[in-house]
Amino acid sequence: CALPISGKDGHDANVVAVRQHGTADISLARLDRAITDIKPLRLGRSKPHVGDPVRLTGFGLTSANGSQLPTRLRTGEFRVSSVGGLEIGMTGTAPHEDTSPCPHDSGGPYFSEAANGTATVVGVVSHGPDCPHSGPDMAARVDAVASWILSVVGSDLAKPSPPSARPSPSAASAAAAPPPSSPPQRSRSRVLVPVAVVLAALVVAVVARRKRPGGTHERRRRQ
């Protein structure tokens, strides 16, 4: 998979707010604008199984001590090697057995690929040994926090209500004045982007909390 950073495809967006899950190593980030022309990854809702194949993509470094970020999107193949309550182990299988995430890979999406082309994110890069290495890295389980994700961004997914008929001045005044015993009402503002935006830009929008600052390690570039 190759996408030059200097290309004209894609979008630049800034993160303006972050919501951290209370116990899982995963966050949601709000972008400063909606991105609607990129098909999002589906949100994993079922528990993964040991042996499931997944793919990881991103722009991370290619070694633990590297300093030059790659200019092309890189990809590697992995398999689920363990399943815990909030984390899953991911072990690299291709193009090399030491394919592994590196610095700047934190929050990168591990996703499954169905025969019909549907991609479903099952985890995001969390922590692991220095790269490259064989054996597992740990990822945050997306299905374990899917209900939390939807609870945070659910209001952004709601369809807008159709406009109602404009009330008369007297009706509007009556509606605007709360009864004497009513407590003052507080407005609630949405905190995060729609889930479609979160998942379409998952490398940016779903980020891990600890070790690695954010893409995918592939020790050698695939031809």
DSSP secondary-structure letter at 119? E
- Taken as a whole, the chain contains a residue count of 223
pTM over 0.85: no
Separation of alpha carbons 156 and 10, rounded Å: 22
Examine the pLDDT at 26 and tell me if it is beyond 70. yes
pLDDT for the residue 43? 94
pLDDT at 196 over 50: no
Residue with tokens 């209370």: 22
Cα–Cα distance, 136 to 156 (Å, whole number):
36
Write the pLDDT tens digit of every residue in 88-120.
Answer: 999 999 999 999 999 888 899 999 999 998 999
What CA dihedral angle connects 28, 31, 37 and 43, to 10 degrees?
A: 0
Q: Name which residue leads in pLDDT, 199 or 158.
A: 158
Distance between CA atoms of 194 and 49, rounded to whole angstroms? 28
Give the SS3 label for residue 145: helix
The pLDDT confidence band at residue 211, using thresholds 50, 70 and 90, is very low
